[in-house]
Amino acid sequence: MQFTQDNLEELNILIRYNLTTMQEGIKVHKSAAATEIIAATRRLFDKGLITLEDGGYLTTIGHEAAEQAHLLLGLLNPS
Q: Identify the pLDDT of residue 79.
A: 75
Query: What are the phi and psi torsion angles at 56 (to 5°)?
Result: 80, -145
Between 25-34, 42-51, 59-68, the lowest mean confidence (pLDDT) is in: 25-34
**Per-chain mean pLDDT for the chain:** 93
Strand-pair category, 26-27 with 50-52: unpaired
From the number of C-beta atoms within 10 Å of its C-beta (0-12, 13-18, 19+), residue 63 rates as: middle
Question: What is the model's pTM?
Answer: 0.91
Other residues' Cβ atoms within 10 Å of the Cβ of residue 58: 24
Q: Identify the pLDDT of residue 30.
A: 82
Residue pair 70/19 in contact (Cβ under 8 Å)? The answer is yes
Report whether pLDDT(32) > 80: no
Residue pair 59/52 in contact (Cβ under 8 Å)? The answer is no
Percent over 90 (pLDDT), the chain: 85
